[in-house]
Structure 1
């Protein structure tokens, strides 16, 4: 697999609070690892939270690299435990320093094992699966507008421009416990995986994301650059984190 990730500050923000992790080499017992985290909080706290989420997750994997993985469910359990550890680390740090009080982060974590992607997810960072003909959003946003959409109060077209679109209903580190979604998908018909923050998805629709991928040469770095450039051209209202994994 080929994997490339980049973070761009965007056109409107004065600091970056997004963080990514990209590794095609083993991290602990996992053969590869891809993470996007979008932090939130007061002065600098968002960047602290997103960075801590990734570092503490990876440290957990390394500390438990001798565990026995026998089933697919064991993989998703490991991802969930890693995020729970990150939640604990961020939450405890927020209690130790008033400047970090209430900080938190979204987190989308993926690993690929024998053509299966294993995914753990909190917040509104997303994972997409794509081929030439289709794009599939594999995550469901934990956000206020997603709840409003599911209840029929707003339409799909209204979600991207809704004034409350940045309000998330789950985050890593804001409370002592966190609810984590886990899922797995077969990648046999997938050409690309995309992990991204809402700095991309608030600027581009799923169809526009797919079109950026389709009109590229197929190289992962070109796709990442095209997505970031297009999101900035449409306003770049937030930090933009993008990881493309090409099979």
Structure 2
């Protein structure tokens, strides 16, 4: 006899969108959130007016996310007024206090080092402390630490993450349709819930998405969820009663 299993599916965010057709393709594929980059140096940057126009295409229950890097609070508050249902995402050096200034739910990016072997005497990134420091965040977004801000399409070593993190996590950094299944299988058991965030992995050029790649990415995420659910059911059936 099988035991009913409650399994939380992996939420999906497609980030760095700049075109109407890409927003529509992401929604049609089943994305849960759409990210707009408000950081001017980024090649995927959109103005607030453009972000508002693109966000207006989103149906209910698909969340717009505004990505900021060390932005002044007044501009963030103005953006929230223009796109009132948006979730905020902070990718710079923002303190916990700075993240709270807009009074809106937010994600906090953690920049995970790429180096598997840090220099003697140096400390690896302390994700447990970081999650505690930013406990007001809805989730901690795991991205690769590269020069500048953003992951630059790089993946970090998922196996080096702590075995148990008391925070909702968003896996980002170099995800593609080819590797997201493995990323989910490695990271999902380490946290209460997991989401994934992709940008360059579904692009044909910076800021230009591919509907085919988006569909492939979503399909790979769903395949990972199915595999995790089967593993849980098998574990329960094999456990002694």
Q: What is the TM-score of this pair, normalised by structure 2?
A: 0.31
Q: Report the structure number with the largest CA radius of gyration.
A: 2
Q: What is the TM-score of this pair, normalised by structure 1?
A: 0.31
